[in-house]
Amino acid sequence: MPGVPATFSIGPVSITPATVLAPMAGVTDTVFRRLIRAQGGCGLLMTEFTSSHGIVHSQRTKKSTKAKRYLFFEPDEHPISAQLFGSDPPIMAEAARICEDLGFDAVDINFGCPVNKVVKCNGGSGLLRDLPLVEKLLREVRAAIHIPLTMKFRAGWNDRELVHLEMGRIAEDCGLQAVALHPRTREQGYAGRADWARIGELKAAIRLPVIGNGDILTPEDACRMIEQTGCDAVMIGRTASSNPWIFRQIQEYAATGSCWQPEEHDRHQIMRTYYGMLCDHQAPDTVGKMKQFATYFTHGVRNGSKLRAAIYQSTEAARILDLVDEFFLEPATAAA
């Protein structure tokens, strides 16, 4: 079975290895991205998907907004791409210029989000029903920036309205440097199976690098997607939330056919590290993030529900750090 490629390029930007952290709302902020980078094996980081209108409004008013916070990144996060959503071409072009000025290595446009409040505004996967607008938007953004432009999209609105091949051709015609396909439809949401055959169809239809996304739960899945579709890179989303070592595992598995598996003390350390980074970052939602990631990081941990329950009831970051230490160190203390 062929492994995940050692590298691929998005225009002049080399991505090594050929793995990408998917943009995830409420997850891929600067703290989580740096945690992922520190574990090794992730070639490209992406921001949370960010409103183009929010970015432009923040720039024009000089106010600190949620959109502006989403675009904060540290120097050690390169290469990093800013992901934008919206449906107004001039606004999207201006937002992309702002991202270029901020030092991002690339800009990505979201045509995949299935969430109702985004779709109702004709953003995300809502635009899959208006391909002329997709083309207009891409052309204006491509003309506005010098850094690479990519896009992430779903296969279509539903199984009767598949547009992944048309979207790929539009991207190629508009001068994009790569595309990422999540082969579910908007109607599917995150249910059912991601039909990898659609990724293969897209790869065969266009010359651009194709990044495959969807249902990669293990390193074996990543290699199998490459084998079955011929895609140039893999993008990991929800799996990385509960297994931040997945990129390291993919790299090891591709090289040797086996990979390291985390033990209980590794989960203790990753929670301790991430929670400490949150405290250092001094974000206003630190305690909320701790509770959110308790769900992810205790996945598969024996008696993890007890730790989650205790964390959910806590209101102070310091107390949550103590609870994590008490939970993981208690068995060792008892054994001694």
CB-based contacts of 193, cutoff 8 Å, min separation 6: 215
- Locate 256 and state its tokens: 């040797």
The yes/no answer on whether domain 8-256 falls in CATH 1.10.1530.10 is: no
- Locate 95 and state its tokens: 């937002």
- Higher per-residue pLDDT: 231 or 255: 231
How do residues 137-191 score in pLDDT, each as one tens digit?
999 999 999 999 999 999 998 889 999 999 999 999 999 999 999 999 988 888 8
Average pLDDT of the segment spanning 25-36: 95
Q: Which of 269, 277, 297, 245 is CA-nearest to residue 19?
A: 245
The values of phi and psi at residue 74, to 5°, are: -100, 160
Q: How far apart are CA 239 and CA 218, in angstroms?
A: 8
Whether residue 21 is predicted with pLDDT greater than 90 in this model: the reply is yes
Residues carrying an active site annotation: 113
Average pLDDT of the segment spanning 235-244: 95
Cβ distance 19 to 41 under 8 Å? yes
Q: What is the domain partition of the chain in residue ranges?
A: 8-256, 264-335
Return the pLDDT at 191.
Answer: 84
Q: How confident is the model at residue 336 (pLDDT cuts 50, 70, 90)?
A: very low
How do residues 290-334 score in pLDDT, each as one tens digit?
999 999 998 888 889 999 999 999 999 999 999 999 999 875 443
Return the pLDDT at 332.
Answer: 46
Question: Residue 50 CA to chain centroid, in angstroms?
Answer: 12
Q: Looking at residue 206, what DSSP letter applies?
A: -
Q: How far apart are CA 185 and CA 163, in angstroms?
A: 10
How do residues 50-62 score in pLDDT, each as one tens digit?
999 999 988 888 7
How do residues 98-127 score in pLDDT, each as one tens digit?
999 999 999 999 997 777 767 766 678 789
